[in-house]
Amino acid sequence: MKHDNKDKQGGMDTRRRILEAAEECFARYGYDSTGVAEICKAAAVSKGALYHHFATKQAIFVEMFETWMDGFAEQMQRIPQQADSVPNALLRMVKMIGVIFQRAAGQLPLFVEFLTKASRDPETWNATIAPYKFFRDFFADLIRRGIDEGSLRQVDPELTARIIVSFGAGLVMQGVFDPEGGRWTEVGVQGIQTILQGIVKGP
């Protein structure tokens, strides 16, 4: 998903500085109320430099979102390598939910503002649903590995991945929108354990 800019170090620094400044401005003023001029000022770069890296304000937002999701995906991908079985990997992943909540809490208004833009613009929309697609493929692979290693029954990997992603997405959504509404990490762990009881191989 990431931009593979092969510029010299200075170019990458500028790019990162713009992204960090934009994230700060968006969080403070909202997406709509932030102009490219403010981002330039906060990043201490010229408009020319900004437009060299990003065609539009929206492009900055999309890359911010993708970078955030990439970081999360990398963390997730490391877990199966460390866990001794697929069921244990799933349980370790769901325990990361707390970290997601913490990161997401302050970003909620920004995130829904982004969704609003996205729902009216096909290109942004694709960037928004790309993570779902990534996680579906990721979990389908994991389920296949579980079947191969003998820990899971012969379930449908694609379907089971969608069950897990539905549960995870709804859990994150509730945790972000209504943090006081439940002990969400516990709900996550129990939920995955319940789903596992339906898909693990019996004795």
Q: Considering beta carbons, is residue 30 or 37 the nearer one to a second copy?
A: 30
We find the least distance from the C-beta atom of residue 109 to a second copy, in angstroms, to be 4
- Binding positions for a second copy, 84-143, rule CB under 8 A: 108-109, 112-113, 115-116, 118-120, 128-129, 132-133, 136
Report if residue 51 touches a second copy, rule: CB under 8 A.
no
Report if residue 44 touches a second copy, rule: CB under 8 A.
no
Number of residues that bind a second copy (CB under 8 A): 45
Three-state DSSP class for residue 131: helix
Q: List C-alpha distances in Å: 125 to 121, 130, 140.
A: 6, 8, 23
Distance of CA 164 to the CA centre of its chain: 15
Q: Considering beta carbons, is residue 37 or 173 the nearer one to a second copy?
A: 173
Report if residue 146 touches a second copy, rule: CB under 8 A.
no
The pattern of x and - marking residues 156 through 185 that bind a second copy according to CB under 8 A reads x-xxx-xx-xxxxxxx-xx--xx--xx-x-
Three-state DSSP class for residue 23: helix
The residues near 39 (Cβ < 8 Å, ≥ 6 apart) are 18, 21, 22, 25, 50, 57, 60
CB 171 within 8 A of CB 188: yes
∠ at Cα 94 (72, 27), nearest 5°? 40
CB 54 within 8 A of CB 60: yes
Binding site for a second copy (CB under 8 A): 108-109, 112-113, 115-116, 118-120, 128-129, 132-133, 136, 156, 158-160, 162-163, 165-171, 173-174, 177-178, 181-182, 184, 186-187, 190-191, 193-199
